[in-house]
Structure 1
Amino acid sequence: MGPSGGRCSRWNSENTRPFREARGIEWAARPALLLSSASARPVFMASSARSPAPRAAHADTMWTRLPPLARHGVCLGIFLVLALSFYSPVVFEGNTFQGGDNTTFRANAQVTIEHHEQTGEWPRWAPNVFSGMPYINYKTAVTQLDDVVSMARSVAWPVGHLFVLMMGVYFLVFYLTRNQFSGLLSGVAFGFTTYIPIIIAVGHNTKFIALAYAPYVLLAFAYTLRNPSAWGSLLFAGALALQLRAKHPQIVFYTGMLLLLWWGVEVIGAVREDRVPALATSTGWLGLGTVLGLCMAAHPYLARYEHKQFSVRGAAATAGGGDGGGGGGMGWEAAMRWSQGPGELFTFAVADAFGGGGQTYWGPKTFTEGPHYLTGVVLSLAGLAAWKVRTWLVWGLGLATLGTALFSLGKYAAWINWPFFQYFPFFDAFRGPEMWLSITALTLIVLAGIGLDYALRRDETQSRRQRQQTDPRQRPILIAFGVVFAVVGLVWLAPNTVLDFEKPNEEQRIRQALLRQNPNVSPQNPKVQQAVRQQVRKLKEQRRGAFSTDAQRTLLFLALAAGALVLYRRRTLPAWGAGVAVVAVVAIDLWGVDTRYMNEDRYSPGGTEQTIPTYQFDQFIKQRQQEAGGLGRFRVLSLAEGNPTSTARPSYHYESVGGYHGAKLQRYQDYLDHILRLTERGGPNENALDLMNTRYIVARQQLPGTEVAYRSEQSGVLVLENPDAVPRGFLVGETEVVDGAEATWEQLRDSSFEPRRTALLPEPLDAPVAPIDSNSTADVTLEQYEPEEIRWTVSTDAPRFFVASEVHYPAGWNAYLDGERVPIHRTNYLLRGVHVPEGEHTLEMRFEPAADRYGRWIAWTSTILVYGGVLTLAGLRVRRRWFEEEAADEADAS
């Protein structure tokens, strides 16, 4: 049922009222409806307001005769049928999505998956991407409710989580309205708003899962505001933990901002209506629930937060030679990329207002997969709720809608985003402001459910004569739908007054493309100018036509939904008929648009790994890796596919110097930018390649200092061998202290620097090292290489310094010399180094992040506390009711 503890059916059941009244049972105070739509002034979800709002008039129909639980079952059954039908190619045909993020994740996680298949353990360090980084495929070790849903993921993705999402929205809106059709409308609308199938198709799985649990967080929040108690606090903690464990902190942060804006409105209402003590109590319980929820998600978040401090998402700068940690976020320009253009908000009502997605998109963003389409019907009903349902709840959701929409504008609304970016905690840690619209969509859809409830309610206190007169709610419904209809209709009739249908700088790009095709033609040639204008004119006509088609489509569905509601208000159509009609209109509308972005081109037969190509040169390198002994023998830099930091494909096959990840280590980013220097002419720096044990380079032309090891007959791609690459572990006889990052980078780039002879350190060693000459003994043998454990045998006739060509990450890697822990020194800016005394030794490096260990203990303890508390309180509640019913029966018998 949801966090309401299974009482939703009791609140909506008229059959149980005589039973309770006849026995005089003193039931626990029922939460009053959160809406008081008959009231002319704002009404808070007040604890003092115990009388329900006027209920909808229901004729004696098959629907009203169904028990409440059966009605819920029908609605949930509709969700399941819709989800299975829409994603039938995945569920019934065994296909997978071809999304880029799906393949990127699989490529990055390949080594961890193979290790799990061999050992049954999930490693926390992936050595195959960016020369090694933590938490690529981080598995939570604490069992919670989301694991039950995830069990079906391998056979029912994404249907299981989509059903959870729609069910959550359904119970949230039902809790607020006690109207099944309102919940049904909102569940369908959010489950099929275009953003959901788009992010599923491209592989933004964690984002989708976090959105699936967002309605439960809102439901628990609303319940605790109404019912301040330990019960509400524990439910909020559990819901928050579920969303956190989806591992998409950006959506969690956005959901928190929604709740903060909502809570701010409730504060205003509490002050105006002298309810501050009650709200303070609710806030206290919510605060406790927040702390418990964070503790329940300490695994994985404690380790992830630690990782963030060393990543490009958290390290403001590393100049000066620190450990790469820092509390800052990304810069303004990087964070504000993919700001939503103000005019693009019109796609809420008309899907192709800005050309849809892919090549057809002509808006201000660099590109987009598709619009945020909600349907004109949803907007009309949301507007109806905001206008006529005057409660603090609705005003809170309205402020959250406005706030999140403004945040989505990013740089186009710098007047609000810049202060938040500068001063609000964690606001600067996230990029892509457009993502805020996923929360805007949720609030609008919840408001739409409230609006439908308003449209379907009748005041049974009216006399027969009053009912025969004009229905007082018919006019607001017509106005709400009429406003959206008029706006869309006016833009449709005169589109050029609002939309220019031209992408920014489009003429310049077309001109440059024409000149590249005809290099001997002058840019001032009149024929070039004419060709550019013709091409732009043709594109604009196509875009105008697509907009016109979708605008007409929106107008048609608005008329159909408004017509169904008017027929109901005129008592021509029953309530269930009007509700079904509105839900059907929205479902058909969204389904039609969604199929543009979830079509057959999105599917691929077989598993995700089958969508990752394997070329001839991949097979050659993998054969060399197998001959050398597997992992830990060499790395590969792939230049043949363009920028090696924009693709993860090579990481699927072998250990890569490049990769693709949004939270790579800042120190490694410095290596790419300042030492390897891929963007400069003349190819990558040779010392940089040597330092990272780069044995092979995949390129289309030979680079200095390399030898051709393989040439692909099909593509002509070369595999170049770098004979100077250092081994994964080696000894040097000299160390040099270099102060500052810039000086270190400069020396590492210098062709006179010899990484096999000298190690650069930020601080002096406590013990000396001896030089290595032809008579010295300085041998290193790699004995074992696994993602989280590396072991060497080191033999030296004098104290030396051991350099591991492994990325330095101080928040987890420990070194053990003959079983005794020894310090790891940051070496050559980004590698690991250990001082080794004379003799033969066993040197081990193990990944043992303390944050992971502490996170497990905290998460297990808090999970047992919260889940145990929920079960205990539920048991006490059932026991109390059983005793009350027994007492009532004894009273009747006497």
Structure 2
Amino acid sequence: MKFDFKADVLPHFLAISSFYLIVVLYFSPIVFEGKMIFQTDILQWEGSAKEILDHRESTGEQALWTNRMFGGMPAYLIHLDPKGDITNFLIKVFTFGLPHPISALFFGMVSMYLLLICFKVRPYIAIIGAWAFALNTFNFLSLEAGHNAKIWAIGIVPLLLAGVHLAFSGKKLLGIVMTAFAVLLQLKFNHLQITYYTLLLVIVYGLGQLVLAYQQKKLPDFAKITAMLLLAAVIGAMGHAARLSSVLEYGTYSIRGERNLPLDEHNDTGLDKEYAFNWSNGKLETFTLLIPNYFGGASQGEVPKNSASEKALRSNGVDNAQVNQFLNGAPTYWGDQPFTGGPIYGGAVMIFLFILAIIFSPPLYRNVFLSMVVLTLMLSWGKNLAWFNYAIFDYLPGYNKFRAVSMALGMTLFVIPLFGAIGLENVVDRIGKKESLKPFLIGTGISLGLILVGIVFASWAGYQSSAGNPGYPDWLMEALKSDRKSLLRTDALRSAIFILIPAILLGMVYLNKLKINFALLGIGLVLIIDLWGVNSRYLDTDSFIDNPSEQHFAATPADNKISADKGYFRVLNIQNPFNDARTSYRFNSIGGYHGAKMSRYGDLIDHILLPEINGFVKKAQEGNFDYKSIQRLNMLNTKYLLAGRAENAVFLNPEANGPAWFPENIAKTSSNEEEIETLAKINTKETATYNAQDNGNQSIITGSGTINLENYAPDALSYKAVVEKAGLVVFSEIYYPKGWKAFIDGEETPILRVDYLLRGLVLPEGEHTVEMRFEPSSYYKTKALSITFQYLIILFLFVGITLTAKDSMDHE
């Protein structure tokens, strides 16, 4: 085989170098100055994971439970880094040491580049497709928000489809091992919603291959390849068997699983429809793929000087400070979502190439990729396409576990650059044929025509959301609508220019006025300028700061006051308790921030805790601190209530029940509904609710004595009990049946569920040592298996690449 450096190595070297350079240049403050993005969700994660990370640092062990969030929940839902796991090392190697999370963008570009090469797209077009895939605003807005796992999971999608495509394209061994490797990497980031969407796209691709196999009478080959790919996916998933088995086991007990209390909805499992579809993309909002400010941009955006809003405000006597405040954070967004950080923009250049792909690509690719785009758009519309999305929510297995369906647009923006690059390849292939000029001009006209159509539709919609802007006077509302219209039209003109430039470049190639490589270089540069410009509206140099964690979690006087207490207790932050994890950074918290809290805890929040907290706050504002009225908070050992950052914002609750206690009465119930209604009425220190049917019909009696917590670790607690009369002890710990084990003097004893969601034990008379340990068998039985499969996958990948390369050389 004759080796040609210019053809075989240089394009790939330039591709990888360009990907690395783009990431380094855009995120230079991170790479060179050690700065970070203020990512709200990552700060939330850091707060929730602090106990787990501290425990690992001090003991070297992985804690599988944490008490810092929602009274207590499995730690593997928040952070899991078991010994022997090699995926972190692999990520560092494949991203050349780029810092997390921006390394995801580099990997995504490499991943897309490999996929396009597998589709026989020439390297310089594949580079353009890779740039477009990584630089869309969906990724950058996700970075700003801190959705790092989502970006990584999407960045691995092209690698997975490359494996599937190779398997169906004659390179079965390489395709199968690449698929297993991609599944291993994607599942590492534990974003099952993106994995679910990936599966849907693979199914669409598979249906295209099924049709092709039927036409070519190769159905047996299709069946064999499909079976091997399914086996590859299973092997890849086995690399995370310990975490997956534990998470899937937990799913039944989370708010995404079976409901404990009935709701007036068709489905009795999964999320509430209103919650799941709250973030649904509007149908017209799809135009933001082409025109970034089609719906005004972010929920709070800047409007230019001398805008209609400024003129209206000044003419109505509003003072200068208030004018500037409004102009810097005006409600420019008028779409269907509750709020948004910015538009989902795919790039006018790539939308233009996507239109050309529809015209120029072979029917198989056109049908497959168009189906993918249509499907993901329909999914993103959510409640705005209720007849479709509510049906699949009710009947498609597993789909009712997910929320924020607008996330499907991340998959749309995977398909558009993929198909757009394939389309550009087909255009270039036919560029010397005169009959291809007319369809090229038609594609250009359609792309520009879509902009005009979008402007007309926006005018019909009236530049005002269905919710309106309550509280705004008519004169300001009319001025704001005028500014929204101006933002749209300015960006519409911008998009038209970014379509015309590549169209002119390709037109010059048609007329033999420009070489194709120069045209491709120009298209690539225009695409980068386009996407870079829009991304910098939302993630610019001002977004990078020194150590946001240090700033966010800096100890306040209130924190210091509570930290002086070295006892065991929980804290309720009255200010947004169930959507904030800052409290969890230092203290065991009643609240937290997580999308899969325990189902019973969610019931307690909705039916009891929120009304209880609101009632207490109302009385406290009148000077009556009625701690006896917060009985359910007391049973959770809520010793401190936090109402701000000052020292005097800390309130000591003298009625907290403590870590464990002997109730004087037992209220027997026969259903979840009866139990939670009873729980809402009782004094939890004196009475405990008990459902015998849910506890193996074990009968219990009240006892008496004392019990104290002696030793604490996140997943292990030890108590000393002096029992005067045998009977029930209630612990202020969250009941979870899959893993918690109790031992009385070393002998295992069953844990009872009492007070709807707490643990209970029946203790015999005498002095006893009581231990509770979280030892989920689903994790420990599969931990070694996970590590073994990770190493096997890497070995298979190495063998697959080696044998494929050898086979290619033998056929040269």
Distance in 2, matches of 1:277 and 1:178, equals 29
2:474 corresponds to 1:533: yes
Distance in 2, matches of 1:585 and 1:92, equals 27
Alignment of 1:452-491 (within 5 A): 452-458=424-430, 471-489=434-452, 491=454
Distance in 2, matches of 1:745 and 1:489, equals 57
SS in 1 for 2:156: helix
> Deviations for 1:26-64, whole angstroms, at most 9, x for unmatched residues?
xxxxxxxxxxxxxxxxxxxxxxxxxxxxxxxxxxxxxx9
Distance in 2, matches of 1:881 and 1:601, equals 50
Pick one of 16, 24, 45 that aligns with 1:76. 16
Distance in 2, matches of 1:768 and 1:314, equals 30
SS in 1 for 2:615: coil
Read off the aligned partner of 1:699 and give its amino acid letter.
A
SS in 2 for 1:797: strand
Distance in 1, matches of 2:283 and 2:453, equals 18
Q: Name which of structure 1's ranges 339-348 and 156-165 shifts more when overlaid on structure 2.
A: 156-165
User: Shift in Å at residue 821 of structure 1?
Assistant: 1.2
Alignment of 1:632-711 (within 5 A): 633-639=568-574, 641=575, 643-678=576-611, 682-683=615-616, 685-699=629-643
User: Shift in Å at residue 736 of structure 1?
Assistant: 4.1
Distance in 2, matches of 1:649 and 1:421, equals 33
User: Shift in Å at residue 316 of structure 1?
Assistant: 2.5
**What is the aligned partner in structure 2 of residue 760 from structure 1?**
690
**What is the aligned partner in structure 2 of residue 871 from structure 1?**
798
Pick one of 26, 34, 54 that aligns with 1:94. 34
Contact in 1 for aligned 2:71/2:589 (Cα 8 Å): yes
Distance in 2, matches of 1:125 and 1:295, equals 22
2:287 corresponds to 1:346: yes
User: Shift in Å at residue 510 of structure 1?
Assistant: 2.2
User: Shift in Å at residue 815 of structure 1?
Assistant: 0.7
Count residues with an aligned counterpart: 762
User: Shift in Å at residue 231 of structure 1?
Assistant: 4.0
Task: Evaluate the alpha carbon distance shift between residue 126 and residue 169 of structure 1 in structure 2; reply closer, same or farther with a 3 A threshold.
Answer: same
User: Shift in Å at residue 862 of structure 1?
Assistant: 3.2
Distance in 2, matches of 1:74 and 1:852, equals 44
Pick one of 483, 495, 501 that aligns with 1:554. 495
SS in 1 for 2:151: helix
SS in 2 for 1:476: helix
**What is the aligned partner in structure 1 of residue 89 from structure 2?**
147
Alignment of 1:119-518 (within 5 A): 119-134=59-74, 135=76, 136-141=78-83, 143-145=85-87, 147-150=89-92, 156-227=99-170, 229-318=172-261, 328-359=269-300, 360-458=332-430, 471-489=434-452, 491=454, 497-507=459-469, 509-511=470-472
User: Shift in Å at residue 101 of structure 1?
Assistant: 0.4
Task: Evaluate the alpha carbon distance shift between residue 101 and residue 880 of structure 1 in structure 2; reply closer, same or farther with a 3 A threshold.
Answer: closer
SS in 1 for 2:61: coil
Q: Name which of structure 1's ranges 156-165 and 584-593 shifts more when overlaid on structure 2.
A: 156-165
User: Shift in Å at residue 563 of structure 1?
Assistant: 0.9
Alignment of 1:503-652 (within 5 A): 503-507=465-469, 509-511=470-472, 532-624=473-565, 626=566, 628=567, 633-639=568-574, 641=575, 643-652=576-585
Pick one of 718, 736, 752 that aligns with 1:809. 736
Contact in 1 for aligned 2:35/2:546 (Cα 8 Å): yes
User: Shift in Å at residue 870 of structure 1?
Assistant: 3.3
Distance in 2, matches of 1:542 and 1:84, equals 36
Pick one of 844, 850, 857 that aligns with 2:771. 844
Task: Evaluate the alpha carbon distance shift between residue 586 and residue 231 of structure 1 in structure 2; reply closer, same or farther with a 3 A threshold.
Answer: closer
Contact in 1 for aligned 2:242/2:782 (Cα 8 Å): yes
Contact in 1 for aligned 2:720/2:769 (Cα 8 Å): yes
Which structure has the bigger radius of gyration?
Answer: 1
Distance in 2, matches of 1:92 and 1:256, equals 38
Distance in 1, matches of 2:614 and 2:558, equals 25
**What is the aligned partner in structure 1 of residue 749 from structure 2?**
822
User: Shift in Å at residue 577 of structure 1?
Assistant: 0.5
2:6 corresponds to 1:66: yes
User: Shift in Å at residue 614 of structure 1?
Assistant: 3.5
2:706 corresponds to 1:779: yes
Task: Evaluate the alpha carbon distance shift between residue 439 and residue 768 of structure 1 in structure 2; reply closer, same or farther with a 3 A threshold.
Answer: closer
Q: Name which of structure 1's ranges 381-390 and 343-352 shifts more when overlaid on structure 2.
A: 381-390
Structure 1 vs Structure 2 CA RMSD: 2.6
Read off the aligned partner of 1:70 and give its amino acid letter.
L
Distance in 1, matches of 2:480 and 2:513, equals 47
SS in 2 for 1:358: coil
Distance in 1, matches of 2:119 and 2:702, equals 76
SS in 2 for 1:832: strand
> Deviations for 1:843-864, whole angstroms, at most 9, x for unmatched residues?
1111111111233244234334
Segments of 5+ residues of structure 2 without an aligned counterpart are 301-331, 618-628
* Identity level (%): 28
SS in 2 for 1:484: helix
Contact in 2 for aligned 1:647/1:659 (Cα 8 Å): yes
Segments of 5+ residues of structure 1 without an aligned counterpart are 1-9, 17-63, 321-325, 460-466, 512-531, 701-710, 773-777, 889-894
> Deviations for 1:285-317, whole angstroms, at most 9, x for unmatched residues?
222222222222323111111111111111333
SS in 2 for 1:804: strand
Contact in 1 for aligned 2:557/2:646 (Cα 8 Å): yes
User: Shift in Å at residue 593 of structure 1?
Assistant: 0.1
Distance in 2, matches of 1:357 and 1:743, equals 46
User: Shift in Å at residue 810 of structure 1?
Assistant: 0.7
Distance in 2, matches of 1:121 and 1:659, equals 23
Distance in 1, matches of 2:276 and 2:635, equals 32
Distance in 2, matches of 1:586 and 1:541, equals 29
Distance in 2, matches of 1:331 and 1:766, equals 33
Task: Evaluate the alpha carbon distance shift between residue 305 and residue 150 of structure 1 in structure 2; reply closer, same or farther with a 3 A threshold.
Answer: farther
Contact in 2 for aligned 1:805/1:832 (Cα 8 Å): yes
User: Shift in Å at residue 504 of structure 1?
Assistant: 1.9
Distance in 1, matches of 2:631 and 2:96, equals 46
Distance in 1, matches of 2:801 and 2:541, equals 47
